Amino acid sequence: MPTEIKANCSDPILADEEDSGIDNESGASSTQSLTESILQHVYENGRRYHAKSVGRYHMPSDEKEQDRLDLHHHNILQLLGGRLTMAPFEHDPNMVLDCGTGTGIWALDFADCYPASTVVGIDLAPIQPNYVYPNVKFELDDLEMDWTFNYQFDLIHSRNMATSIKNWPRYFEQMYDFANAGGYVELTEHDMNAFRCDDGTMPEDSAYGRWLKPTTAAMKKAGLSPYQTLKDYTTLLEDAGFEIVQTLEYKVPCGGWPKGKKEKYLGFCWAEDLKTGFESYSKALLVNGGGLAPQEADDLIAECLKTLAERKQHVYYYTWHIVARKPL
Ligand SMILES: C[S@@+](CC[C@H](N)C(=O)[O-])C[C@H]1O[C@@H](n2cnc3c(N)ncnc32)[C@H](O)[C@@H]1O
């Protein structure tokens, strides 16, 4: 039964007598203005990278990657039953932080669904829209540096930051310092340790495994933590002072091989993501840290894409969603 929607023309709009007439500023004193150098890019591996992120973040920031990030948002919503947050709020959160906001798609959707919340999205790269809802702010900053916000958050969201964050204990400590008592942290990450298979259709020399091994080794060499498990994430959050509220583990099929409409749809969603994702994740790593020639990296990625399209190897990996809370 559709909800009845009432037009509001019969009532006057009351004026806010306490309105200061000053726009709500986020107060992040470290906000950088958009100088030309922040907008510069470098072109490598046939992709565009954000110049100021080089050495800090190895994935591209071009349109192809932005499309992938937006698709990935859809894919994660498929896992979470369409929910932007799993945190059990008693009241809608006031201040919300989206760490490494990317194209800002989660921040924008959240602000749309929770108009009383103010959402701040932080990223190294300026790939967010310029004109946004009044309750969204995008700021350019490095989350591995000291956080300088002038206020505390009721929800801190961090999704797919395993290719970004080098110092996880410090990252979670800063979340703790800037969370309100009773505030939530919500984390989505995936297992980069292994591609998995339950029915023996993945051979030992599968292209997936041959791609993953040098990719994770190069990530490790770059100071990242590709071998982190779900338990490692929850332990790090607890060490920072958070209480774990909920952990969810999902099997994400690589390609549309599963039986069942819903599972098949999920597999096709992830196949679409991986079509450009294999290259986004690994090309710079394999060439710069992994010692592969560009053509060797391309060939390995092409083999993965062929395996993905064939759907003969029934392969999946884990995606994790964690909700934690700062004690009252
Ligand atoms: C894989 S993307 C995830 C984007 C977004 N969280 C999502 O799920 O759609 C990682 C993002 O983190 C940003 N990033 C990487 N290192 C960062 C840092 N040290 N501080 C802030 N943002 C960072 C990148 O520019 C990129 O947009």
C-alpha 143/C-alpha 23 separation (Å) is 25
Residues contacting 33, CB < 8 A, separation 6+: none
SS (H, E, C) 153-204: EEEEEEECCCCCCCCHHHHHHHHHHCEEEEEEEEEEEECCCCCEECCCCCCC
CA distance 49 to 316: 29
Q: Yes or no: say if 190 and 159 are a contact pair by the CB < 8 Å rule.
A: no
Question: Is 125 near ligand 1, meaning CB less than 6 Å away?
Answer: yes
Whether 23 has a pLDDT exceeding 60, the answer reads: no
Task: Tell me the average pLDDT across 179-199.
Answer: 96
Beta carbons of 323 and 255 less than 8 angstroms apart = no
Q: Say whether pLDDT at 234 is over 80.
A: yes
Tell me the DSSP string of 5-70.
----TTSPPPP-TT--SS------TTPPP--GGGG-EEEETTEEEEGGGTTT--S--SHHHHHHHH
- At 231, list the tokens: 């338990």
Q: Whose CA is nearest to atom 15 of ligand 1?
A: 164
Question: Is residue 156 pLDDT above 70, yes or no?
Answer: yes
Residue 97 has pLDDT above 70, yes or no: yes
119, 135 in Cβ contact below 8 A?
yes
Q: What is the pLDDT of residues 264-296, one digit of tens each?
A: 999 999 999 999 999 999 999 999 989 999 999
What confidence score (pLDDT) does residue 8 get?
A: 67
Taking CA atoms only, the protein residue closest to ligand 1 atom 27 is 102
Whole-number pLDDT of residue 30: 41
Q: Is residue 22 scored above 80 in pLDDT? A: no
Tell whether the model's pLDDT for residue 259 goes beyond 90: yes
In this model, does residue 4 exceed pLDDT 70? Answer: no
- Average pLDDT of span 75-98: 96
Name the residue among 50, 44, 29 with its Cα closest to residue 127.
50
pLDDT given at position 237:
98
- State the Cα–Cα distance between residues 189 and 136, nearest whole angstrom: 24
Instruction: Work out the average pLDDT over 231-239.
Output: 98
Map out the domains of the chain with their CATH numbers: 45-325 (3.40.50.150)
Average pLDDT for 76-88 = 97
Determine what percent of the chain is predicted with pLDDT higher than 70. 93
pLDDT of residue 27 exceeding 50: no
Centre of ligand 1 from the C-alpha of residue 124, in Å: 7
- Considering only CA atoms, give the Rg of the chain: 21
Instruction: Supply the mean pLDDT for the chain.
Output: 92
Ligand 1 centre to CA of 98 (Å) is 10
Quote the pLDDT of residue 32.
46
Give 322's Cβ-side CA count (13 Å radius).
25
Q: What is the CA(240)–ligand 1 centre distance, in A?
A: 21
- For residue 102, give the ligand 1 atom closest to its CA: 27
